[in-house]
Structure 1
């Protein structure tokens, strides 16, 4: 049973998936930082100081705080500013992945075209010189036989 698990766990697909998950988590942190530290402040500047992080809707009248952290301590809130930030995160990740996959597909298509070109030439094997010569002789003899059959037998 342990050997079966080792075989399963060390298959290429499982290892590739693990590497992808780890890289994806790191990429997610980078994108989150990009959104929170770069795009959100820029959007705030463009929209006149709009800051999504403290946008919330209190669910009870006991919540009187003006910041999200303080409001959460006072009671239940709907933090729609966090949702807007998560949506922006998603859109940025999707946009970046679109360009990454697009570049990968172009590289694969270019590589496939390079691989296919030599294989088409290789599919037709080179004809040896003696075979070419015999084919020419055969064609000449066939051409002479056709010529004789069209003109009929020679009569002297």
Structure 2
């Protein structure tokens, strides 16, 4: 079996395709969560705390290059210029982003588990023992089984002529 054939067989599995779809949707969901954090939650937190913007809080760990012409308070520009920075504000934003994402995933898993439990309960209720047959049906089955047994005994008897 060639390596290419094995690879095609591996990729053709449903689990691999499901994983790929999950990764793509997860990446898209991550950008939504990042936007939710950066564009909606963090500004509200900043407003509540009097203009506190987490992303702009940092400590410079090295000198600013002489060729740098931007603001010494611009985190993104300093980082792009190669200045070593300790961006604790950005880290706080990422942690909040992670907590929101983790909470949403927790709710999603909780919902799926509850839905699976409901489906199992419905299946369990649907596979209950069938109702007992009416006495007439049971009697007819006994008669049928007795007739079959007599026919089998008559057919295997050494005195019977076939």
**TM-score interval, smaller chain:** 0.7 to 0.9
Runs of 4+ in 1 over 6 A off after TM superposition: none
TM-score (norm 2): 0.73
Alignment root-mean-square deviation, CA = 2.1
CA distance in 1, matches of 2:5, 2:82: 54
CA distance in 1, matches of 2:64, 2:28: 39
Higher helix share: 1
Asked whether 1:120 is paired with 2:128, we answer yes
Per the TM alignment, residue 133 of structure 1 is displaced from its structure 2 partner at its CA by: 4.8
CA distance in 2, matches of 1:118, 1:70: 64
Per the TM alignment, residue 127 of structure 1 is displaced from its structure 2 partner at its CA by: 3.4
Aligned to 2:73: 66
Aligned to 1:4: 6
TM-score (norm 1): 0.76
Per the TM alignment, residue 106 of structure 1 is displaced from its structure 2 partner at its CA by: 0.9
In structure 1, the gaps of 5 or more residues are 135-156
Residue of 126, 131, 135 corresponding to 1:129: 135
Aligned to 2:151: none
CA distance in 2, matches of 1:95, 1:26: 17
Residue of 78, 84, 89 corresponding to 1:76: 84
Residue of 25, 36, 39 corresponding to 2:38: 36
Q: Structure 1 residues 15-24 or 69-78, which shifts more?
A: 69-78
